[in-house]
């Protein structure tokens, strides 16, 4: 176990998540990708805290922040999907393109 | 972890849980029998009723499992097996006497996390057989989870707050004088309610309701059914048992040794829950969800506030 | 037990990445969701390995509940929830793969080659207590912002997701009682 090993794991989770977030058409699958990316960030942040600054509590606060972001992302994401689906019967990102404007 | 439990504890624990579950199921069967066919018939009839769950379990062992079309076997197995596994993992922080098998600094959170596995387990068991009734049962449990989990977490946190620690043994030690149940009655009541809901049992057995012909368990037969329903009894025993270190002073008590006090108190809580089942009708989840959020959550928050003020002083 | 830790790290890492990949390969949404849960539980395990007991167990708790609920939405919003009729739900797969691959490669190269400073500080005795002291002390503002953000999330997601408001429930003058609900709920207000 070393910082490098954890960082590579974090990069792998981030990469797989990014692939899903970019390549999936369904909004809900896209959100799974985002969750994975944030999971990678959690591993990275926890590893940096452990190996570089174990005496600084702010490292843990950062991890807590990211985990909260995961929960918020899920809740608001599904609420938006539900609103979109009610309004236009839309469940893929391609069909929701007007959100860009 | 200053006083680690012996390694064989990991073997004894599931066996002891199983024994307690069989005893609880037997007592439940006696109560059911007395309610349905009238009390009585002497010791022999009562004994026969008490052994009925054991007989049923053995009968299920010999039954073949049921196959449904386009079932998701992998997820189904996972869901069924997860129920007893979650119960045993949660029991790892359950103290016998005053020391649990494992006593991590975050024991209470661990217990909560392992109980939450039941959410996944029941939904998976309901989803996997590709059957409408069992899927509805699975969804019902998720709605139930949304109703009970938040008050439950607040109640459990209140006990940790009162002790100033998330370590189970320290929570027990903090109750050497006064039980938490005495000065946190609201948290204790909320915990007992959620203990029933967590084991989806008694008034909270809507996910496995009669109106769904058995709900999430409708397509389970043979060993699967035994593991799922037996796991539910394990969950009930473990949640009842965890009320003892959290609110009832753990193994502390006069005269008798710690372990005996723990067993006695656990048995008392279990008996209370079993009798409550006979006294209360099944709650529909849409009926429970709103009071859970508008009454139980504020109540639990107030209780936490009171405890926080007391602790600060 | 450093050897046990090494083995645990490798096993959890492989399971995490394997689960992550399977999320986008399974046709069944239930399987995809629970593959994601596997990956995130392994993330929780890695955080435990890194000495953060409280945060690791909290990740396990939160992700279990989150994914159990997520499965409902996955089944609700996919055309083919059980994967019985496999269909392709991707766009721009090559570009996505290229971008993700490049990012992964760049991050990995950075992770391996970066001149990481050597940490000399000692691990805290009780990280949970450290975190609590930080949140209730110097980081109080962070904690309060988090709390407000979570509360706002509850309000916002309910407002976004429900099509009915008080005018639907109580009528145009807000006076009709009892409320007109699709399901009469427990408190009957």
Q: Name which of C64, C128, C187 is nearest B166 (Cβ-Cβ).
A: C128
pLDDT for B97 equals 65
| Chain C CB within 8 Å of residue B287 CB | yes
pLDDT-based confidence at residue B158 (cuts at 50, 70, 90): very high
- Would you call C160 and A51 a contact, using CB atoms and an 8 Å cutoff? no
Predicted confidence (pLDDT) per residue in B218-264, tens digit: 888 888 888 998 899 999 999 998 998 888 887 777 777 777 888 88
- Could you tell me the CA-to-CA distances from A47 to A14, A36, B13, B243, C50 in Å, in that order? 15, 17, 34, 36, 6
Which residues in chain C touch residue B290, judged by CB atoms under 8 angstroms apart? Answer: 185-187
Residue A98 has pLDDT above 70, yes or no: no
Question: Is C136 an interface residue toward B (CB < 8 Å)?
Answer: no
To the nearest whole number, what is the mean pLDDT of chain B?
85
Question: Which residues in chain A have Cβ-Cβ distances shorter than 8 Å to C77?
Answer: 26-28, 81, 85, 91
Beta bridge partners, A26, equal A92
Q: What is the pLDDT of residues B6-59, one digit of tens each?
A: 677 778 888 888 888 888 888 888 888 777 777 666 777 778 788 888 888 888
Chains touching A (at least 3 CB pairs under 8 A) are: C
Is the confidence at residue B2, as pLDDT, over 50? no
Predicted pLDDT of residue B123: 92
Contacts of B164 (CB under 8 A, 6+ apart): B170, B174, B311
- Does C119 have pLDDT greater than 80? no
Q: Residue B1 falls within a domain, yes or no? A: no
Measure in Å the smallest separation between the Cα of A66 and chain C Cα atoms.
11
C17-56: per-residue pLDDT in tens? 999 999 888 888 888 999 999 999 999 999 999 989 999 9
Does C169 score more than 90 pLDDT? no
**Distance from the A15 Cα atom to the nearest Cα atom in chain C, whole angstroms:** 5
Q: Please give the ipTM for the structure prediction.
A: 0.90
Neighbours of C165 (CB within 10 A): 9
Residue A97 sits at the chain C interface (C-beta within 8 Å): no
Asked if A71's CB is within 8 angstroms of C62's CB, the reply is: yes
pLDDT grade for C64, boundaries at 50, 70 and 90: very high
Q: Report the alpha-carbon distance of residue C44 to residue B134 in Å, rounded.
A: 31
Give bridge partners of residue C175 from the DSSP assignment. Answer: none
Whole-number pLDDT of residue C145: 93
B212 has pLDDT over 50 = yes
The pLDDT value given to residue B1:
40
Given 3.40.309.10, 3.40.1190.20, 1.10.287.3510, 3.40.50.2300, which CATH number is that of A3-93? 1.10.287.3510
Q: Does B207 have pLDDT greater than 50?
A: yes
Boundaries of domain holding B84: 9-312
- Which residue has better confidence, B231 or C176? B231
Minimum Cα–Cα distance from C92: chain A residue: A23
- Domain boundaries along the sequence of chain A: 3-93
Q: Do C185 and B72 touch (CB under 8 A)?
A: no
* Pairwise CB contact (< 8 Å): A57 & C131: yes
Whether A and C touch, i.e. at least 3 CB pairs below 8 A, reads as yes
Flag whether B245 is in a domain: yes
pLDDT confidence tier of residue B305, bands split at 50, 70 and 90: very high
Give the integer Cα–Cα distance in Å for B308 and B40.
50
Q: How far is A58 from chain C (nearest CA, A)?
A: 7
User: Could you tell me the residue ranges of all domains in chain C?
Assistant: 1-83, 127-189
Residues on chain C touching A56 (C-beta within 8 angstroms): 121
Average pLDDT, chain C: 87
Shortest CA gap A18–chain C (Å): 6
Task: Specify whether the CB–CB gap between C178 and C188 falls below 8 A.
Answer: yes
Contacts of A4 in chain C (CB under 8 A): 111-112, 116
DSSP count for chain B of H helices, then E strands: 12, 2
Task: Give the closest-approach CA distance of C2 to chain B in angstroms.
Answer: 18
- CB contacts, 8 Å: C24 with chain A: 16, 19-20, 23-24, 29, 32-33
- Do B196 and B150 contact (CB within 8 A), yes or no? no
Report yes or no: B168 at the C interface, CB cutoff 8 Å.
Answer: no
Integer angstrom CA distances of residue A36 from B28, B72, C164: 45, 24, 33
The CA distance from B253 to the nearest CA of chain C, in Å, is 30
Number of domains present in the structure of chain B: 1
Interchain contact, C31 vs B120, CB within 8 Å: no
pLDDT at C55: 93
Q: pLDDT tens across B117-149, in order?
A: 988 999 999 998 888 889 999 998 998 888 899
A in contact with B (at least 3 C-beta pairs within 8 A): no
Q: What is the pLDDT of residues A40-72, one digit of tens each?
A: 999 999 999 988 888 888 889 999 999 999 999
Among the partner residues C36, C52, C78, nearest to A35 by beta-carbon distance: C36
Distance CA C189, CA C186 (A): 8
pLDDT at C161 over 90: no
């Amino acid at each position: 176990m070393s910082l490098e090993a954890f960082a590579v794991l974090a990069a792998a989770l981030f990469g797989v998540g990014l692939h899903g977030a970019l390549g999936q058409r369904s909004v809900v699958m896209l959100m799974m990708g985002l969750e994975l990316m944030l999971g990678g960030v959690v591993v990275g942040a926890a590893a940096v805290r452990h190996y570089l600054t174990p005496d600084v509590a702010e490292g843990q606060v950062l991890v807590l922040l990211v985990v909260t972001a995961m929960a918020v992302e899920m809740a608001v994401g599904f609420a938006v999907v539900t609103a979109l689906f009610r309004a236009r019967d839309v469940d893929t990102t391609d069909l929701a393109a007007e959100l860009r404007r | 972890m200053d006083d680690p439990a012996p390694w064989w504890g990991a073997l004894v624990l599931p066996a002891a849980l199983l024994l307690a579950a069989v005893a609880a199921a037997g007592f439940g069967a006696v109560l059911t029998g007395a309610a349905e066919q009238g009390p009585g018939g002497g010791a022999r009839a009562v004994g026969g009723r008490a052994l009925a769950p054991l007989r049923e379990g053995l009968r299920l062992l010999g039954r073949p499992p049921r196959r449904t079309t386009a079932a998701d076997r992998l997820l189904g197995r996972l869901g069924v097996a997860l129920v007893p596994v979650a119960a045993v993992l949660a029991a790892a922080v359950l103290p016998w006497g005053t020391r649990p098998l494992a006593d991590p600094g975050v024991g209470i959170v661990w217990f909560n996390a392992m109980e939450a596995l039941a959410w996944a387990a029941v939904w998976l068991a309901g989803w996997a057989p590709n059957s409408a009734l069992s899927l509805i049962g699975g969804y019902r449990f998720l709605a139930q989870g949304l109703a009970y989990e938040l008050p439950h977490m607040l109640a459990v946190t209140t006990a940790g707050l009162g002790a100033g620690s998330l370590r189970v043994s320290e929570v027990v030690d903090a109750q050497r004088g006064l039980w938490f149940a005495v000065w946190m009655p609201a948290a204790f009541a909320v915990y007992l309610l959620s203990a029933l809901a967590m084991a989806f049992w008694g008034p909270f057995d809507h996910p496995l309701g009669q109106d769904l012909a058995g709900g999430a368990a409708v397509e389970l037969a043979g060993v699967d059914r035994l593991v799922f329903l037996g796991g539910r009894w394990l969950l009930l025993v473990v949640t009842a048992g965890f009320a003892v270190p959290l609110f009832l002073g753990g193994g502390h008590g006069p005269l008798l040794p710690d372990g005996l006090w723990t067993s006695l108190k656990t048995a008392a809580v279990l008996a209370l829950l079993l009798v409550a089942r006979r006294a209360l009708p099944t709650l529909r989840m849409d009926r429970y969800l709103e009071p859970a959020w508008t009454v139980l959550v504020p109540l639990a928050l107030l209780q936490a506030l009171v405890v926080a003020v007391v602790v600060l002083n | 037990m450093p050897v046990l830790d090494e083995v645990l790290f490798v096993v959890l890492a492989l399971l995490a990445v394997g689960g992550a990949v399977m999320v986008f390969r399974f046709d069944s949404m239930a399987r995809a969701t629970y593959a994601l849960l596997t990956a995130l539980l392994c993330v929780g395990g890695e955080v435990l390995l890194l000495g953060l007991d409280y945060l690791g167990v909290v990740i396990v708790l939160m992700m279990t509940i989150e994914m159990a609920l997520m499965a409902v939405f996955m089944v609700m919003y996919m055309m083919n929830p059980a994967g019985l009729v496999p269909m392709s739900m991707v766009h721009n797969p090559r570009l996505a793969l290229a971008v993700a691959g490049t990012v992964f490669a760049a991050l990995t190269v950075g992770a391996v080659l970066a001149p990481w400073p050597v940490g000399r500080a000692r691990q805290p005795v009780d990280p949970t207590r450290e975190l609590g002291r930080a949140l209730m002390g110097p980081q109080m503002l962070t904690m309060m912002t988090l709390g407000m953000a979570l509360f706002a999330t509850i309000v916002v997601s309910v407002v976004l997701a429900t099509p009915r408001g008080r005018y639907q429930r109580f009528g145009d003058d807000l006076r009709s009682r009892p409320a007109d609900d699709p399901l009469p709920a427990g408190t009957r207000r």
